[in-house]
Amino acid sequence: MLLSILDLERLSVNDIMIPRSEIAAIDVAQSWEDILERLRQTPHSRLPVYDGNLSNLIGIVQMKRVAQELVRGTLSRERLMELAAAREPYFVPEGTALNQQLAQFQRLRRRLAFVVNEYGDIVGLITLEDILEEIVGEFTTDPSAVTHKDVSRDAQGNWLVNASATIRALNRTLGWQLPAVGPRTLNGLLLEKLETIPAPGTALRIGDYDFEILQIADNAIRTVRVRPAPRAESAASA
């Protein structure tokens, strides 16, 4: 844990943030039925609320307050927007060191922040829990059952990986040795190697692992299957 705390000085919010495309949020422009379903199904204690586009942020809503309004039967679209506007969003520049951000969360008594680039555009979301996981490891009720939140195993023992996972997290958690210089996510690494948006079923080898593209959405790789390359072939390719 002490070594992980020291690592916070050399890591930035970009290294562990949730990418913009993966941010869970409520769009008040959607139908009220869809909004209610999203509110009932979310596992999060806080949700960003926006109007039509994430750039049009209204604020942050606490699910505890939403639950109270639902019980009273007083929750409406307008009331949801009022609850969200009561908690203005908090923005931090990309490149902010994690140790500085941890101190800022403590000083401002905030638990999440939106990461913005030099043009003020939202590029991701960083939470207090994300930073704490860098120190003590990923929180889970059954550590033996979960390897990493973005990784699972199929029936054949291959890894099914969310391509938005960071290469650093995969290397550290699974003991892989994917290139750490260059793209920060698995999606970015695969696109760099392929130099095109691949079709599902595309396969390639990087180091000691074979990757198969399973899902593509919004011009990005969403899910891949990963299996160790046969030793003889891996040695020959190296």
| Residue 175 vs residues 36, 82, 100, 107, 171: alpha-carbon distances, Å | 41, 46, 28, 35, 5
Residue 146 lies in a domain: no
Measure the CA–CA gap between 12 and 102, rounded to whole angstroms. 11
DSSP 8-state symbol, 90? -
Same domain, 191 and 158: yes
Which residue, 66, 85, 104, sits at the end of a domain? 85
Same domain, 102 and 213: no
Same domain, 73 and 191: no
Residue 143 lies in a domain: no
Measure the CA–CA gap between 78 and 76, rounded to whole angstroms. 5
Measure the CA–CA gap between 213 and 220, rounded to whole angstroms. 11
pLDDT at 142: 42
pLDDT at 144: 38
CA 164 from centroid of its chain's CA atoms:
7
pLDDT at 198: 92
Nearest one of 170, 162, 176, 166 to 220, comparing CA atoms: 162
Same domain, 112 and 214: no
CATH number of the domain that residue 127 is part of? 3.90.1280.20
Same domain, 163 and 188: yes
pLDDT in tens, the chain (238 residues): 676 777 788 788 988 888 888 899 999 999 999 999 999 899 899 999 999 999 999 999 999 999 999 999 999 999 999 999 998 899 999 999 999 999 999 999 999 999 999 999 999 999 998 888 877 765 443 433 444 678 888 888 899 999 988 888 888 788 888 887 888 889 999 999 999 999 999 999 998 899 999 999 888 899 999 999 886 454 455 4
Same domain, 11 and 32: no
Same domain, 9 and 119: yes
Measure the CA–CA gap between 129 and 110, rounded to whole angstroms. 11
Count CA within 13 A, CB hemisphere, residue 194.
Answer: 20
Same domain, 68 and 101: no
End-to-end alpha-carbon separation of the chain, Å?
35
Residue 55 lies in a domain: yes
Residue 129 lies in a domain: yes
pLDDT at 233: 52
How many CB atoms neighbour CB 190 within 10 A?
Answer: 20
Measure the CA–CA gap between 4 and 29, rounded to whole angstroms. 42
Same domain, 103 and 8: yes
- Under DSSP, is residue 216 helix (H, G, I), strand (E, B) or coil? strand
Which residue, 42, 57, 85, sits at the end of a domain? 85
Same domain, 104 and 10: yes
pLDDT at 143: 39
- Residue range of the domain that includes 101: 2-17+91-136
Residue 145 lies in a domain: no
Domains in the chain: how many in total?
3
Residue 142 lies in a domain: no
pTM for the predicted model, two decimal places = 0.69
